């Protein structure tokens, strides 16, 4: 987007220092000054859940935050702290998973949106790393719009929320198919594992070949999930993941989502 168009859209512009776009490192006067030129904000949303016998439990949170920070760096849009707990009830059969019930996650996201809207943020761009959050996030947005109007918030008519699932971005899915084919699977996928290997090299110590995973299929609660998918994977072969693949996925996701964010802010 040309600089003049960026200015008209309220985009602050790329930054060299990630600290400049991290909300938790800003002071309240700095946020007020930011709101004078941009009404957009990025919220990373992840999950804390099992990712097979070799994947990090924090995969969905780590990846969502990394993509969000890179999108923020490229656009200059503020990024909130990550919401690291998501709706992962079906993974509770595996040690280490921490889940919010759908109603709890809905309430959390509702309150996050309303808090930001109260200060004048009009475009809430949620970068999500977990498929189980999608339905609840959309329900939370709908409820937050109604609450904003009922409370008479000045931004109510202009408030918009958008969910951006980084792993479903077109270029990311195309690259995953090219690299892994059918072995990408549906959970503990090599694409998401590759991104964690790029972000946290210590995870390479866990990386090893695995037996053929259980095929993807229906899930009926955490005990049923554990029976059908005893090691936590769903049709995936995470051993195919490589750190350099993860670097590529980060760039592809950030490029696609930065473009989506620019359009969102320019509406």
pLDDT tens figures, 157-194 = 999 999 999 999 999 999 999 999 999 999 999 999 99
Whether 216 and 185 have beta carbons less than 8 Å apart is answered as: yes
- Averaged pLDDT for residues 8-15: 71
Q: Which helix (H) or strand (E) holds 140?
A: helix 134-150
> Strand 123-128 and strand 160-165: pairing?
parallel
pLDDT in tens, 202-214: 999 999 999 888 7
- Averaged pLDDT for residues 198-223: 90
CA distance 98 to 193: 19
- Averaged pLDDT for residues 129-136: 97
Helix (H, G, I), strand (E, B) or coil at 208: coil
Question: Angle at the Cα of 83 (from 78 to 89), degrees rounded to 5?
Answer: 155
| pTM of the predicted structure, to 2 decimals | 0.94
- What is the separation of C-alpha 173 from the centre of its chain, rounded to a whole number of angstroms? 15
pLDDT in tens, 228-244: 999 999 999 999 999 99
Q: Residues 6 or more apart from 162 whose CB is under 8 A from it?
A: 123, 124, 125, 126, 260, 264
Taking alpha carbons only, the member of 198, 74, 89 closest to residue 125 is: 74
Q: Which helix (H) or strand (E) holds 9?
A: helix 3-9
- Averaged pLDDT for residues 55-74: 98
Taking alpha carbons only, the member of 45, 40, 43, 44 closest to residue 119 is: 40
Backbone phi and psi for residue 98, each to the nearest 5 degrees, phi listed first: -125, 120
Residue 3 has pLDDT above 60, yes or no: no
Q: Which helix (H) or strand (E) holds 228?
A: helix 222-228
Helix (H, G, I), strand (E, B) or coil at 78: strand
Taking alpha carbons only, the member of 105, 90, 173 closest to residue 137 is: 105
Q: Which helix (H) or strand (E) holds 97?
A: none
Q: What's the token pair of residue 192?
A: 């998401």
The percent helix, strand, coil of the chain (3-state, each to 5) is 55, 10, 35
> What pLDDT score was predicted for residue 10?
61
Alpha-carbon distances, residue 86 vs 38, 82, 128, 258, 259 (angstroms): 28, 11, 10, 23, 26
> What pLDDT score was predicted for residue 17?
81
Residue 7 has pLDDT above 80, yes or no: no
**Does residue 234 or residue 16 have the better pLDDT?**
234
DSSP state of 232: S
For the chain, give the mean pLDDT.
94
- CATH number given to 3-266: 3.40.50.10310
Alpha-carbon distances, residue 247 vs 151, 244, 255 (angstroms): 44, 5, 12
Taking alpha carbons only, the member of 19, 60, 77 closest to residue 165 is: 60
């Amino acid at each position: 987007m040309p600089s003049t168009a960026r200015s008209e859209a309220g985009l602050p512009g790329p930054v060299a220092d990630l600290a400049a776009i991290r909300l938790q490192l800003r002071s309240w006067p700095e946020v007020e000054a930011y709101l004078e030129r941009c009404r957009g904000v990025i919220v990373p949303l992840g999950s804390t859940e099992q990712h097979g016998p070799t994947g990090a439990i924090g995969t969905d949170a780590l990846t969502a935050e990394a993509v969000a920070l890179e999108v923020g760096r490229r656009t200059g849009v503020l990024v909130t702290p990550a919401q690291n707990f998501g709706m992962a009830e079906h993974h509770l059969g595996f040690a280490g998973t921490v889940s919010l019930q759908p109603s709890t996650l809905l309430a959390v996201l509702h309150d996050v949106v309303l808090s930001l809207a109260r200060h004048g943020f009009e475009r809430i761009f949620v970068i999500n790393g977990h498929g189980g959050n999608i339905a609840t996030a959309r329900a939370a947005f709908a409820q937050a719009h109604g609450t904003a109007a009922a409370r008479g918030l000045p931004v109510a008519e202009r408030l918009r929320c958008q969910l951006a699932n980084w792993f479903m971005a077109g270029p990311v899915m195309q690259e995953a198919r090219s690299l892994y084919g059918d072995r990408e699977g549906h959970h503990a996928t090599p694409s998401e594992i590759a991104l964690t290997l790029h972000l946290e090299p210590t995870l390479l110590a866990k990386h090893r070949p695995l037996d053929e995973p259980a095929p993807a299929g229906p899930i009926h609660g955490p005990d049923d999930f554990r029976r059908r998918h005893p090691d936590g994977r769903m049709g995936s072969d995470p051993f195919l993941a490589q750190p350099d693949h993860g670097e590529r996925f980060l760039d592809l996701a950030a490029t696609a989502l930065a473009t989506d964010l620019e359009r969102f802010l320019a509406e």
